[in-house]
């Protein structure tokens, strides 16, 4: 057939790759890079183009501009002629690191490291295309790269160093980047190599498939002309399932439009579809969104209408998606899914574009973009997008008008355009609503609209495009006529009927938002003719350049302890050399697996029929509960949670079985073919408050925690304030989704898994298989992020894969796609608090009581309301207190530990109470807080503890108010708010006490094994802690180096195994680093004791290698082990103190918000590793910001299914969602006598202070409410999403004044 592709060839880091047709079917570029070329630096996390882990640099033809591309979405069959560079192509150990890799490591810009290669490649790609990029340019390029660990600030700092206008802080790192590009790349492996690329010939280039096989046939076609494309389409029948492929980015959104395709047509070699012309003005259908932006930016130099169109296109997705996605591709998504809020569709329709569509006979029809939405496009394609000239209308010069104006020009109508996209976060999100307005307006003639204006909306419903009645009404009207505007707004309101969809924002918000955008357009056109206090309503929020400051103590006498060194793995992370479980090469005979998940809660599973799945080529078996030789329970908690469902689906997303196949792709596809029959469906409750209406769902979790005369004090209080506060759930968003490899061995099974517990997981797998624990050989190298998700949840993966490996006697790999990862497993516990506080006339707390309701999912196994009760006092003096913890049963996944579990909830509760009480008694929240700070000797939770150190909060608040310019900023916000009705600033100050009471937990023990090698004195350490980005390996290495008096470079930390490190605690609760450091120090003391005689004998001038050589010869044991135990080592814990000031700016008309500035002071003692700890504080605070703003979990109320299950619907903060100005101080002169080498924990405490953003938003909204005459208390629950912010403002259309 015409244009059929039999082979595709491209270069990968300079090495030619040839892919046979049938081998390339269904293979993404990322899969090819990782599994065929074995370059595992390129990561895959979401598989949707939503996280940026898979970014590579691509030049598509000789002389093409290199650009970033999401390799997970690019089929390898469209890569013909491409030149591809991966992170391995930039640098590495063997040839030296690229300046970008070095800079990112040096600033502390890596933690778990899973996102780091994608970050590096994003900047590398951008600098290839924009060598003179400014700091501001670079500040905007991470719109599609997610980092959950760092809070982005150090990444942005490192990258901005490469700006052409940057003040070079790290200039010693930045050599001539061009000189380094692709030098020393091995032609054999595609990786950096010491032979400068000459160690092997490039003959025998890689081929996906067996070398002896001829080029296979393929489903792929690649026409070289419009005529060939037409001919191919004509050869299809109307029933042929085919896909025209340009960039293929749409598959990140709509993954399963068809179960399978008969044919794919790559149109990337058709030059005619990439043509551009300014006169007449048109773009070929296959022009990339990035190229369209450049085109419109240039066109905008002579007509600002096109500037607006280019700016709107820049809001689409992310850099990598815009580089690869095409205009026609985006439009075709709208054609196939009319409810898709396409920004290409909206902007093209606003501009009045028409489409030239070619049918299979070569006939051409022209349609408006709006008409195209419902056009049958079977075997048709978009050839061109044509644009009208949109020239301004000049009127004949009027002498009388010129006489009366000082302006040189008078009269004439101008095109006024405004487009909007209101998103749940700053970037890479679909709009709640998008809108385009275009009108020819004569400003000199009362802003008269000439002709018919254009008013287009997306996100309303699947059929709504134009507000036709409103457009017609506005013809010939004067835009400065407010009565007319209100009439038009009334007509618009009658036209807008948003569809309900449980995953979308509410219909009422979308309707009111659309009306607010209409008002914004009027304000924009009126400009200075509108009154000053409403003018800012026309403007978008303007977040400036990101910046940050960090301040901390260090003690050179203790170095390398307290020295701000980069993490010991950081360069391996930035170069992609670090290996995660998913990077381990496939073993011979290895199988892949995928879960079959239920899609309904609270019902019986009558049958699970895998017949269709088993009939698929490549499927090996279906494994279910009948195949478990031991116990069908992976949780080992009070209520068993089954590995595979044995008959009742407790929640939608529960595991029913496992499909095992030859490839992961086959396993995933086959899992979707398994047919499940349900019966006896009961009521489904997914909301905590709704569940609480049924008393049987509410279970006390232990007795109330209390002290003092609560009832008597409440009775005698001058004021009693009571209320209800709620906060939602949060997905961990660890970039490495859950994965494991289980391999049958002669003595049992080898288990490779990213887990926070080396012991528990081996025990659970052994019980499932009914074998002894010593038959399970567990190895844990590192985690690509976790935040609590990998404490117990990996047990289900490990047990499921082990059951399959046991049944089939072959290695089984189980790697969850993001959607399964989110549907199967629980997240942060949602909470409801019913509270009451009694206060004296002077504003002193007399008593507090609260019922603490924690949503525990269906099993209640991980209800953490007792934790919330312990943390519910924070830093306040409360003479009498009663906190009653409860669990609430819902038909959802049982939640699990999530960074600061229960801790952030308890802290949020007391701060919400303080906020409410302050407003009710007419006191400022800050004054109420300052009036009630605890003192040494006061009772603290849990009873009968008391505070055994002075409370430093008062002085910390004074210090941060000075350094954070609190008073001046509060006054500036007041002035700003008085001048602006539609933009409001808010500021809050929140203190924190985090009780790090380690001895409350039984079984708190960690061991460390240190081996010193007699040959050269180098040191290996195997400690019990799991490295997951928190820098535990770096801190342990620093402590070992300090204790032994050697360089950190002599210390290497090895993986954790259940042989070297048995019977230790999980790594979590911010206690892992310090406890393992203690164990390491104690092991060093054992070694030093053994070496003392040798040292004495050799004298003080002996070097470490000399001492070790002599000791080894003298048969001294150079291997030492110590088990740290909290009680034995009297490591009782301490308080971590903190204060945060957060300032926001809110757009009242949309609900959008950005964080202007955040100042955090945290008492971290003397930090063992300041770069690591600054990163921990920033990252935890950033995750807290997400919890309180953009991250919202939604379930289907009918089926119980998780709706926010991918990067399309779930939005953790992106790089521009962090504070624009982010300042962190680790408290000076605050050594901790109770901590290891004077340090304190940093992993979780700062997350608690994230609630400061909620109160800052409240403060901003309250300013608007006061303007509108609304006074008194009102509750703002978490998360304060864009929708919820808008809905709490209480905007009414009578406030839409000019």
Q: Are 347 and 172 in contact (CB under 8 A)?
A: no
Q: How do residues 747-759 score in pLDDT, each as one tens digit?
A: 999 999 999 999 9
Per-residue pLDDT, 209: 40
Helix (H) or strand (E) holding 137, with range, is helix 135-139
Cα–Cα distance measured from residue 1217 to residue 1240, given in angstroms and rounded to the nearest whole number: 28
Q: Are 434 and 456 in contact (CB under 8 A)?
A: no
For 684-751, the DSSP string reads ----HHHHHTSGGGEEE-SSPEEES-HHHHHHH-SEEEEEEEEE-------SS--EEEEEEETTEEEE
**Residue 750: strand pairing partners:** 743, 777
Q: How do residues 902-956 score in pLDDT, each as one tens digit?
A: 999 999 999 999 999 999 999 999 999 999 999 999 999 999 999 999 999 999 9
Count of helix runs (H) and strand runs (E) in the chain: 39, 43
Per-residue pLDDT, 170: 56
Per-residue pLDDT, 207: 45
Cα–Cα distance measured from residue 494 to residue 775, given in angstroms and rounded to the nearest whole number: 70
Per-residue pLDDT, 199: 45
* DSSP tag of 211: T
Per-residue pLDDT, 256: 77
Per-residue pLDDT, 189: 61
Mean pLDDT of the chain: 95
Is 80 exceeded by the pLDDT of residue 192? no
Q: Are 217 and 39 in contact (CB under 8 A)?
A: no
* DSSP tag of 32: I
In our burial notation (b when 16+ CB lie closer than 10 A, e otherwise), range 1140-1177 reads bbbbbbbbbbbbbbbbbbbbbbbbbbbbbbbbbbbbbb
Cα–Cα distance measured from residue 885 to residue 4, given in angstroms and rounded to the nearest whole number: 66
Q: Is 474 helix (H, G, I), strand (E, B) or coil?
A: helix
Per-residue pLDDT, 201: 36
List strands edge to edge, sheet with 675-679.
648-649, 603-609, 675-679
Per-residue pLDDT, 190: 66
Is 60 exceeded by the pLDDT of residue 328? yes
Cα–Cα distance measured from residue 825 to residue 794, given in angstroms and rounded to the nearest whole number: 10
Alpha helices in 980-1065 (DSSP H): 1032-1044
Q: What is the largest CA-CA distance in the chain?
A: 110
Q: What integer is the mean pLDDT of 64-77?
A: 97
- What is the chain's percent helix, strand, coil content, to nearest 5? 35, 20, 45
Per-residue pLDDT, 356: 98
Q: Which of 292-301, 319-328, 951-960, 1126-1135 has the lowest mean pLDDT?
A: 1126-1135
Per-residue pLDDT, 184: 54
Q: How do residues 721-748 score in pLDDT, each as one tens digit?
A: 999 999 999 999 999 999 999 999 999 9
Per-residue pLDDT, 520: 98
Per-residue pLDDT, 403: 79
Per-residue pLDDT, 1146: 98
Cβ within 8 Å of residue 662, ≥6 positions away? 591, 592, 618, 619, 620
Cα–Cα distance measured from residue 786 to residue 887, given in angstroms and rounded to the nearest whole number: 24
Q: How do residues 241-300 score in pLDDT, each as one tens digit?
A: 999 999 999 989 998 777 789 999 999 999 999 999 999 999 999 999 999 999 999 999
Q: Which of 201-210, 404-413, 846-855, 1064-1073 has the lowest mean pLDDT?
A: 201-210
Alpha helices in 738-881 (DSSP H): 758-769, 794-808, 818-824, 865-871
Q: Are 723 and 1275 in contact (CB under 8 A)?
A: yes
pTM of the entire predicted model: 0.96
Handedness of CA 556, 560, 566, 567 (dihedral sign): negative
Q: How confident is the model at residue 180 (pLDDT cuts 50, 70, 90)?
A: very low
- Of the two residues 348 and 255, the one the predictor is more confident about is 348
Q: How do residues 334-344 score in pLDDT, each as one tens digit?
A: 999 999 999 99
Is 70 exceeded by the pLDDT of residue 212? no
Is 60 exceeded by the pLDDT of residue 410? no
Select from 947, 949, 987 the least CA-distant residue to 969: 987
Per-residue pLDDT, 1247: 98
Q: How confident is the model at residue 392 (pLDDT cuts 50, 70, 90)?
A: confident
Is 70 exceeded by the pLDDT of residue 842? yes
Is 70 exceeded by the pLDDT of residue 195? no
Is 60 exceeded by the pLDDT of residue 566? yes
CA contacts within 13 A on the Cβ side of 290: 17
């Amino acid at each position: 057939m015409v244009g059929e592709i039999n082979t595709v060839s491209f270069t990968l880091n300079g090495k030619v790759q040839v892919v046979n047709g049938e081998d390339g079917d269904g293979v993404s570029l990322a899969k090819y890079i990782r599994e065929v070329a074995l370059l595992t630096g390129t990561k895959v996390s979401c598989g949707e183009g939503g996280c940026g882990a898979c970014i590579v640099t691509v030049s598509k033809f000789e002389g093409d501009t290199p650009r970033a591309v999401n390799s997970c979405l690019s089929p390898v069959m469209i890569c013909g002629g491409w030149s591809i560079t991966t992170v391995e192509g930039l640098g590495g150990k063997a040839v030296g690191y690229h300046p970008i890799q070095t800079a990112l490591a040096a600033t502390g810009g890596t933690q778990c490291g899973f996102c780091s290669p994608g970050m590096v490649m994003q900047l590398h790609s951008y600098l290839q295309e924009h060598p003179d990029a400014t700091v501001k340019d670079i500040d905007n390029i991470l719109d599609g790269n997610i980092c959950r660990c760092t809070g982005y600030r150090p990444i942005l700092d490192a990258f901005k160093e490469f700006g052409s206008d940057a003040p070079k802080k790290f200039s010693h790192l930045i050599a001539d980047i061009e000189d380094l590009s692709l030098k020393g790349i091995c032609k054999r492996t595609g990786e950096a190599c010491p032979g400068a690329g000459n160690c092997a010939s490039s003959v025998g280039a890689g081929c996906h498939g067996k070398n002896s096989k001829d080029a296979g046939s393929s489903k792929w076609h690649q026409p070289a002309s419009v005529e060939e494309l037409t001919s191919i389409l004509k050869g299809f029948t109307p029933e042929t399932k085919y896909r025209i492929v340009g960039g293929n980015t749409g598959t990140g959104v709509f993954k399963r439009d068809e179960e399978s395709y008969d044919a794919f047509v790559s149109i990337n070699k058709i030059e005619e579809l990439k043509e551009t012309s300014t006169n007449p003005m048109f773009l070929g259908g296959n022009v990339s969104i990035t190229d369209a932006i450049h085109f419109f930016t240039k066109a905008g130099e002579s007509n600002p209408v096109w500037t607006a169109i280019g700016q709107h296109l820049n809001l689409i997705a992310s850099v990598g998606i815009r580089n690869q996605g095409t205009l026609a591709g985006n439009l075709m998504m709208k054609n196939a899914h009319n409810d898709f809020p396409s920004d290409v569709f909206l902007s093209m329709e606003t501009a009045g574009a028409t489409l030239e569509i070619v049918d299979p006979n070569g006939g051409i029809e022209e349609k408006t973009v709006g008409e195209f939405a419902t056009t049958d496009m079977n075997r048709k394609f978009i050839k061109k997008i044509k644009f009208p000239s949109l020239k301004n209308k000049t009127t004949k010069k009027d002498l009388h008008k010129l006489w009366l104006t000082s302006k040189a020009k008078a009269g004439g109508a101008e095109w006024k355009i405004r487009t909007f996209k209101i998103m749940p976060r700053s970037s890479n999100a679909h709009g709640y609503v998008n809108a385009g307005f275009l009108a020819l307006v004569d400003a000199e003639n009362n802003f008269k609209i000439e002709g018919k204006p254009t008013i287009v909306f997306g996100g309303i419903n699947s059929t709504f495009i134009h507000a036709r009645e409103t457009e017609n009404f506005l013809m010939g009207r004067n835009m400065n006529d407010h009565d007319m505007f209100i009439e038009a707004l009334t007509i618009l309101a009658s036209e807008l009927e948003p569809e309900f969809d449980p995953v979308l924002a509410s219909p009422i918000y979308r309707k009111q938002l659309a009306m607010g955008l209409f008002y914004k357009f009027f304000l924009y056109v009126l400009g200075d003719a509108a009154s000053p206090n409403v003018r800012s309503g026309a403007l978008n929020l303007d977040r400036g350049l990101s910046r940050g400051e960090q301040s901390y103590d260090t003690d050179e006498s203790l170095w390398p302890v307290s020295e701000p060194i980069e993490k010991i793995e950081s360069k391996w992370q930035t170069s992609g050399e670090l290996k995660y479980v998913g990077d381990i090469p496939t073993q011979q005979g290895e199988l892949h697996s995928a879960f079959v998940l239920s899609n309904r809660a609270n019902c019986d599973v009558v049958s699970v029929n895998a017949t269709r799945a088993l009939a698929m080529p490549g499927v090996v078996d279906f494994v279910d509960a009948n195949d478990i030789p031991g116990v069908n329970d992976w949780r080992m908690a009070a209520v068993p949670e089954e590995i595979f469902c044995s008959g009742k689906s407790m929640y939608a997303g529960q595991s029913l079985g496992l499909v095992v196949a030859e490839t992961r792709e086959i396993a995933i596809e086959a899992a979707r073919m398994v047919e499940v029959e349900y019966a006896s469906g009961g009521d489904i409750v997914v909301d905590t408050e709704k569940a609480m209406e049924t008393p049987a769902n509410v279970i006390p979790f232990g007795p109330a925690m209390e002290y003092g005369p609560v009832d008597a004090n409440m009775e005698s209080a001058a004021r009693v304030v009571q209320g209800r506060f709620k906060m939602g759930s949060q997905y961990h968003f660890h970039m490495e989704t859950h994965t494991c490899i289980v391999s049958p061995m002669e003595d049992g099974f080898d288990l490779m898994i990213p887990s926070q517990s080396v012991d528990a997981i081996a025990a659970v797998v052994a019980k499932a298989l009914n074998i002894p624990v010593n038959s399970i050989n567990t190895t844990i190298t590192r985690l690509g992020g976790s935040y609590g998700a990998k404490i117990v949840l990996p047990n289900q993966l490990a047990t499921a894969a082990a059951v399959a490996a046991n049944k089939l006697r072959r290695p089984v790999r189980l790697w969850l796609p993001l959607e399964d990862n989110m549907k199967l497993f629980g997240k942060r516990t949602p909470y409801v608090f019913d509270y009451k506080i009694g206060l004296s006339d002077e504003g002193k707390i007399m008593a507090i009581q609260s019922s603490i309701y924690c949503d525990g999912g269906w099993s209640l196994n991980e209800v953490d309301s007792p934790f919330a009760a312990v943390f519910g006092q924070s830093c306040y003096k409360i003479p009498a207190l009663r906190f009653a913890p409860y669990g609430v049963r819902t038909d959802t996944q049982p939640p699990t530990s999530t960074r600061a579990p229960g801790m952030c909830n308890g802290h949020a509760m007391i701060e919400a109470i303080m906020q409410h009480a302050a407003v009710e008694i007419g006191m400022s929240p800050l004054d109420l807080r300052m009036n009630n700070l605890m003192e040494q000797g006061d009772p603290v939770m849990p009873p009968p503890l008391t505070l055994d150190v002075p409370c430093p909060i008062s002085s910390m608040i004074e210090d941060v108010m000075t350094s954070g310019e609190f008073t001046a900023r509060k006054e500036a916000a007041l002035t700003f708010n008085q001048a602006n009705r539609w933009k409001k600033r808010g500021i809050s100050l929140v203190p924190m006490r985090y009780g790090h009471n380690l001895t409350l937990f039984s079984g708190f023990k960690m061991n460390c094994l240190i081996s010193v090698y007699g040959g050269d004195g180098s040191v290996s350490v195997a400690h019990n802690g799991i490295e997951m980005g928190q820098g535990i390996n770096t801190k342990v290495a620093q402590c070992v180096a300090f204790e032994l008096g050697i360089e950190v470079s002599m210390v290497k930390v090895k993986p954790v195994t259940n042989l070297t490190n048995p019977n230790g605690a999980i790594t979590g609760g911010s206690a892992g680093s310090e406890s393992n450091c203690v164990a390491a120090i104690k092991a060093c003391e054992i070694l030093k004791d053994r070496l003392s005689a040798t040292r004495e004998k050799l004298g003080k001038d002996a070097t470490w290698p000399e001492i070790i050589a002599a000791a080894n010869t003298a048969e001294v044991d150079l291997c030492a082990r110590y088990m740290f135990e909290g009680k034995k080592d009297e490591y009782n814990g301490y308080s971590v103190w903190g204060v945060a000031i957060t300032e926001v700016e809110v757009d009242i008309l949309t609900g959008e918000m950005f964080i202007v500035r955040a100042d955090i002071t945290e008492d971290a003692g003397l930090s063992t590793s300041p770069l690591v700890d600054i990163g921990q504080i920033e990252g935890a605070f950033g995750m807290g910001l997400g919890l309180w703003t953009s991250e919202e979990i939604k379930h289907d109320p009918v089926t119980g299914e998780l709706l926010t299950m991918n990067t399309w619907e779930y939005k953790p903060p992106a790089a521009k969602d962090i504070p624009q100005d982010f300042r962190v101080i680790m408290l000076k002169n605050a050594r901790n006598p109770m901590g290891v080498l004077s340090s304190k924990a940093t992993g979780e405490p700062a997350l608690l202070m994230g609630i400061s953003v909620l109160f800052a938003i409240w403060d901003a909204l309250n300013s608007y409410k006061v303007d509108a005459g609304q006074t008194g208390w009102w509750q703002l629950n978490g998360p304060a999403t864009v929708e919820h912010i808008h809905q709490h403002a209480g905007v009414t259309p009578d406030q839409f004044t000019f």
